[in-house]
Structure 1
Amino acid sequence: MTILIFALVALAVCALLVLVHRWLWIRLVRDTTAPGRLPRRIGTALTIALPLLSVAALTTGRAGAPFWLQQTVAWPGYLWLAVLLYLTLTMLVAEPIRALLLRRLAHRDPSGAESDAPRTVEVSAAAASAASTVTAEQPATDERSETGEGLTRRRFVARTVGGAAAAVAVGTVGAGTYGVLRGPRVKRVQVPLAKLPRAAHGFRIAVVSDVHLGPVLGRAHTQRIVDTVNRTQPDLIAIVGDLVDGSVPDLGHAAEPLRRLAARHGSYFVTGNHEYFSGAQQWIDHVRELGLTPLENARRELPHFDLAGVNDIQGEREGKGPDFGAALGDRDRSRAAVLLAHQPVVIHDAVRHGVDLQLSGHTHGGQLWPGNYLAELANPTVAGLERYGDTQLYVSRGAGAWGPPVRVGAPSDITVVELASYQA
């Protein structure tokens, strides 16, 4: 039954993508180019090739394809997904504008015609006169109007509206890509904890989530993150899951700069859902070799508070899901407790076990607007600090990006959480 539902959903998604691409082809290729011309052939070829590259980008990793092939299809395939999103949105906004312009042009036309007749856009009185003479003496085809007397009115509107929409979409994706490749910015948040002693006031935890090393983001991105974290001079570093999208043989080199993370009380790691897609145990073993301490449903008693970590809920499929009893069950509740958990949805378990602060990621803050509205449906908190009973939850937007290396409306961050004591 589950397989049938998945197949039906997959078919529905594929059908929607086909319809969207067909509509975009009509508006951006057919309506803006002449039949049989090279621009139309190129546009048609791209309309077919780009979605195929996107499907390849999404599936080659799961299919076990060679890493070089994953890298080859990832950049164009993932970037097209982002462009497709904003191109579709801008074209939907542009559709009524296009209809209004065509209606106004038809109103100005004495004949009232709206067809692709060889009428020309009036650039000057002389050009208009010449165009009307040619039209009267010898009917021009679409091809003739482009090479001789100018564009048809309908095609001129299509090119103007489509070009503006494409420029907005490409510009948005370009800016969002630059934001990811530039590296995450540092965000600072002060969190007061009632049980924190005065001696721990000002304790700084650098929270890193959702790096997503893979066929797009590699060693250079890791190095940017490490340099940024180390510049904050944190007391402790917490990597709260989704570090990788791939295996250790493929991405071990990309993760190598993590060895240079520096904090007085060490660096800690908990799994995210993507670690289980990639082989969680191999990464747990590897990050330990890099000098990080994995917290697998475990707890460390630091000088002034307890630091605990739980496995991601995706691990339940392997019998290695979160175990709050193992991580928090027998602790001294008079001490403050900070929990590392990848997904915000476990906040209610944290509340039941008396956690003072939960640090999470997973949501990416929505990553691509309007994805934040979808993220709100699945997560109690999408980004930032919120309180649930006596427990506070902080959710980072993440330091990388999944799929398209693009962020719009949800900039990447590394958050320095500064713990504050009420006694200070």
Structure 2
Amino acid sequence: MPIPPRLLIFFGVLSLLVVSSHIYLYRRLVRDTSRHLLWRRVGLVLWSVLGATLVTARPLSALLPSGVTAVLSQFSWYWMGVATYLLLTVMTVGGVRGIADWIARRRAAPAAVPAPVSEERRELLARAGAGVALAATGGFSGYGMWRAFHPPVVNEVAVKLPGLPRALDGFTIVQLSDIHVGPLIQRRFMDELVARTNALKGDLVCITGDLVDGSVEELGPAAAALRELRSRHGTFFCTGNHEYLSGDLEWCEALPRMGVTVLRNRYVRVGDAGASFDLVGVDDWAAARSGFAQRQYDLTAATAGRDPSRASVLLAHQPAGWREQAQKAGMGLQLSGHTHGGQFFPFTRVVAAVWEHDAGFFREGDHSLYVSRGTGFWGPPLRVAAPPEIVKVTLLAG
């Protein structure tokens, strides 16, 4: 399958950022902290290897044995997390030093000539700054990794759903999203997640996309834990953008064998003849831009033939179409994910600035939206100021 141009551009930009950031870190943490030639040579080799690991881990996965690539991939994700916080803290320390120097110069007498700073003092200050940065990085990344692998928090929300029959008042949906089964999230994580989900005793379980980061062949055994999910009305799934990179057709064939009903631009009736509501599922909002125009978000097709007066819940991976599509189609509640709530600070603030509906519960008139921060994580195993979550939604009759 050809690689989409957008993905090539993304990896090209990412590679440029990786190389430039590792050069910067080498200068601040190695070159500036000592003039010793051996120290600088060892540091140059180390930072070159670390940078190359991030750039080459994915391409090498197609050439090396699976056992080797698994270790390389895991190491690269861990190092990406540490390197991100290391870069941020080193830049912050450098910025604080620059501001302090500027204030000192402003306070000096106008005619005074600043005394030259000795090389020994420069190295001392550089070492002190490096120590502070390393300590802060250890704190942030250590906590973030612990939080990423720690059991997700359970957030409960009650939603008034227009048209919901009184007999279904109190119906519960347990939402899982953005689990990202892959190099770091494996069967043990999934077994614990399934056990915690079952303990909530939901009437229905839904997975709103980005379940996997890899093929059925390599991740099927870990994802098979989903067979043990228990609820009165079953488990339902809609695709996320990562499914397209992992083989969406293959996964949508495999998931029903694991007891998961796949909703690709269609709806099902949940309940019985006496009381029911419509559960609608759509493909990912960005599928067309990713080169999958034949398998893209189509709410019109998903709701064809349904009675618009009936209560409805929409499963859509991204919250992007809530106002433009879901509200106009009369969807009472949309459950989404995708944003991860930014996953870790300071990207939590970036996502909040970019996405109008970044995480949590939103309501406009009779229409509600819940955006999950995700149950797992993607990329660096970090969760800082955006803990993973399982969402328990209680539907209330209007």
Q: TM-score range by the shorter chain?
A: 0.7 to 0.9
**Aligned partners of 1:101 and 1:157 also within 8 Å:** no
Which position in structure 1 is the counterpart of 2:143?
A: 175
Q: How many residues get paired?
A: 381
Which position in structure 2 is the counterpart of 1:49?
A: 49
Instruction: Work out which of the residue numbers 377, 387, 408 in structure 1 matches 2:384.
Output: 408
Rounded to whole Å, the distance in 1 between the matches of 2:340 and 2:284 is 16
Shift of residue 318, structure 1, vs aligned partner: 4.8
**Aligned partners of 2:207 and 2:238 also within 8 Å:** yes
How is 1:183-194 mapped onto 2 (pairs within 5 angstroms)? Answer: 183-194=151-162
SS at 1:212's partner residue? coil
The change in CA–CA distance for 1:333 and 1:182 in structure 2 (over 3 A counts) is: same
**Aligned partners of 1:71 and 1:216 also within 8 Å:** no
Where does structure 2 lack aligned partners over 5 or more consecutive residues? 109-113
**Aligned partners of 2:180 and 2:212 also within 8 Å:** yes
Which position in structure 1 is the counterpart of 2:183?
A: 215
Which position in structure 2 is the counterpart of 1:254?
A: 222
**Aligned partners of 1:51 and 1:80 also within 8 Å:** no
Rounded to whole Å, the distance in 2 between the matches of 1:34 and 1:375 is 41
Instruction: Work out which of the residue numbers 246, 252, 269 in structure 1 matches 2:237.
Output: 269
Which position in structure 2 is the counterpart of 1:312?
A: 284
Rounded to whole Å, the distance in 2 between the matches of 1:350 and 1:66 is 45
Which position in structure 1 is the counterpart of 2:34?
A: 33
**Aligned partners of 2:162 and 2:366 also within 8 Å:** no
Cα RMSD, aligned residues only: 2.7
Shift of residue 360, structure 1, vs aligned partner: 0.6
The change in CA–CA distance for 1:6 and 1:57 in structure 2 (over 3 A counts) is: closer
SS at 1:335's partner residue? coil
Rounded to whole Å, the distance in 1 between the matches of 2:63 and 2:309 is 49
AA in 2 matched with 1:94: V
How is 1:308-387 mapped onto 2 (pairs within 5 angstroms)? Answer: 308-316=280-288, 317-347=292-322, 348-376=324-352, 379-387=355-363
Which position in structure 1 is the counterpart of 2:261?
A: 293
**Aligned partners of 1:234 and 1:416 also within 8 Å:** yes
Shift of residue 15, structure 1, vs aligned partner: 4.1
Greater shift, 324-333 or 347-356, is seen at: 324-333
**Aligned partners of 1:102 and 1:157 also within 8 Å:** no
Shift of residue 163, structure 1, vs aligned partner: 0.9
Which position in structure 2 is the counterpart of 1:135?
A: none
**Aligned partners of 1:186 and 1:228 also within 8 Å:** no
Rounded to whole Å, the distance in 2 between the matches of 1:64 and 1:237 is 38
Which position in structure 2 is the counterpart of 1:158?
A: 126
The change in CA–CA distance for 1:12 and 1:343 in structure 2 (over 3 A counts) is: closer
The change in CA–CA distance for 1:19 and 1:296 in structure 2 (over 3 A counts) is: closer
Greater shift, 176-185 or 66-75, is seen at: 66-75
Rounded to whole Å, the distance in 1 between the matches of 2:73 and 2:348 is 23
**Aligned partners of 1:67 and 1:215 also within 8 Å:** no
**Aligned partners of 1:367 and 1:409 also within 8 Å:** yes
AA in 1 matched with 2:42: I
Instruction: Work out which of the residue numbers 168, 185, 193 in structure 2 matches 1:225.
Output: 193
Shift of residue 65, structure 1, vs aligned partner: 5.8
SS at 2:267's partner residue? strand
Rounded to whole Å, the distance in 2 between the matches of 1:287 and 1:51 is 37
SS at 1:308's partner residue? strand
Rounded to whole Å, the distance in 2 between the matches of 1:208 and 1:418 is 15
Give percent identity, aligned residues only. Answer: 40
Rounded to whole Å, the distance in 2 between the matches of 1:207 and 1:60 is 35
Which position in structure 1 is the counterpart of 2:19?
A: 18
AA in 2 matched with 1:358: Q
Shift of residue 379, structure 1, vs aligned partner: 3.5
TM-score by length of 2: 0.87
Shift of residue 167, structure 1, vs aligned partner: 1.3
Shift of residue 17, structure 1, vs aligned partner: 3.5
Which position in structure 2 is the counterpart of 1:81?
A: 80
Rounded to whole Å, the distance in 2 between the matches of 1:318 and 1:3 is 12
Which position in structure 1 is the counterpart of 2:366?
A: 390
SS at 1:302's partner residue? strand
Rounded to whole Å, the distance in 2 between the matches of 1:277 and 1:405 is 20
How is 1:275-286 mapped onto 2 (pairs within 5 angstroms)? Answer: 275-286=243-254
**Aligned partners of 2:341 and 2:352 also within 8 Å:** no
AA in 2 matched with 1:329: A
Rounded to whole Å, the distance in 2 between the matches of 1:28 and 1:299 is 56
**Aligned partners of 2:60 and 2:69 also within 8 Å:** yes
Where does structure 1 lack aligned partners over 5 or more consecutive residues? 117-151
Which position in structure 2 is the counterpart of 1:239?
A: 207
**Aligned partners of 2:26 and 2:44 also within 8 Å:** yes
